[in-house]
Amino acid sequence: MSPQTPPRDHGGNLDAAIARLGGTRADWIDLSTGINPIPYPLPPIPADAWAALPRKSEMAALALAAARAYGTALAVVPLAGAQSAIQLVPHLRVPGCARVLAPTYNEHAGALRAMGWQVEEVAQPEGLVGADLAVVVNPNNPDGRTHAPADLRTLAGQVGFLVVDESFADPEPHLSLANTSYIPSNVLILKSFGKFYGLAGLRLGFALAGPEIAARLRDLAGPWPIAGPAISVAIQALADDAWKADTIARLARDAARLDALALAEGWDVVGGTTLFRTYATPDAQSAQERLARARIWTRIFPYSAHWIRLGLPGPEVDWLRLSKALAGERE
């Protein structure tokens, strides 16, 4: 595989760790993703959500709930996770030159390349200028790099089509382009429901765009892109402002707690969000292996020998296990 086509590796690959190192899923703490470890409490799900095809009125209610939650006037297209939107993006334009602000989530470049786009990965926003299609993840995964909405609006005027992935923006709504008063018509914003609400298994996300792009996405997605139970749960979760505020505050506290543990063991903070933290270590693979021996799985990256990313532990017992494992690494 050439340097221009890096492997599409991911977090959440706990099965690979188990196959190599043993144990069962229950034995492991999976910190390899950026999913909220304390999910939204599942409400009762009506029986017909399981038995009937989702109705247009239910999809419309979900879109309305998302528009309110994200404070946006854009059209909202519910999809089976932000990943589904990423897979559809290459079909929205005739293939040409795409540029992705990198390093970042590798599915953006991978999906575009798979559909015939010429993809360049650039290190600075000015490198995106002139692209037929540009991708910015805000805040970025894995380093947490952020971009002001005003800067993204300016960038939209310098590219053919701008995709802004806000999958990790829920805890930092001030970063969101979606809730600003003016959004250029050539912008597509992606949202993940599963990460912030901790319900990734529902496979739900949203694409926010002007009417023409939204209509095209609906045609590409087909008539029933979302399962009935996901619709039922998400409508209630998106309207729960008290849970959202409490969760934003808790995530901030826990991210600071995780940083304190890492700094105490000699790691440097690269960045991240309040859903995951990325650190610089002398040897990331060695650090991952040491934690894995304590049945704690983390994320490292093929393009860095030093970066290691950890999601937040959930229950207190998981925090204690991580603290002991880090102390053992130091010893």
Task: Tell me the per-residue pLDDT of 194-250, one tens digit each, with 9 for 90 and over.
Answer: 999 999 999 999 999 999 999 999 999 999 999 999 999 999 999 999 999 999 999
Whether the Cβ atoms of residue 319 and residue 327 lie closer than 8 Å to each other = no
Question: Which part of the chain has CATH 3.90.1150.10?
Answer: 14-39+242-327
Whether the Cβ atoms of residue 144 and residue 152 lie closer than 8 Å to each other = no
Q: How far apart are CA 244 and CA 173, in angstroms?
A: 11
pLDDT confidence band for 329 (50 / 70 / 90): low
pLDDT tens digit sequence for 77-125? 999 999 999 999 999 999 999 999 999 999 999 999 999 999 999 999 9
Backbone phi and psi for residue 59, each to the nearest 5 degrees, phi listed first: -65, -40
Q: Secondary structure of the chain: what % helix, strand, coil (to 5)? A: 45, 20, 40
**What topology is assigned to 14-39+242-327 in CATH?**
Aspartate Aminotransferase, domain 1 (3.90.1150)
Question: Which part of the chain has CATH 3.40.640.10?
Answer: 47-240
Q: How far apart are CA 92 and CA 253, in angstroms?
A: 40
Give the pLDDT score at 7: 54
pLDDT tens digit sequence for 33-45? 999 999 999 999 9
**Is domain 47-240 given the CATH code 3.20.20.410 in the classification?**
no
| DSSP for 184-213, written as a single string | -TTEEEEEESHHHHT-GGG--EEEEE-HHH
| Distances in whole angstroms, Cα of residue 138 to Cα of each of 130, 165, 266, 272, 273 | 20, 6, 28, 11, 10
Query: Which tokens is 40 given?
Result: 């939204």
**Residue 318 pLDDT exceeds 50:** yes
Backbone phi and psi for residue 7, each to the nearest 5 degrees, phi listed first: -65, 145
Predicted TM-score (pTM) of this structure: 0.94
Q: How far apart are CA 51 and CA 58, in angstroms?
A: 14
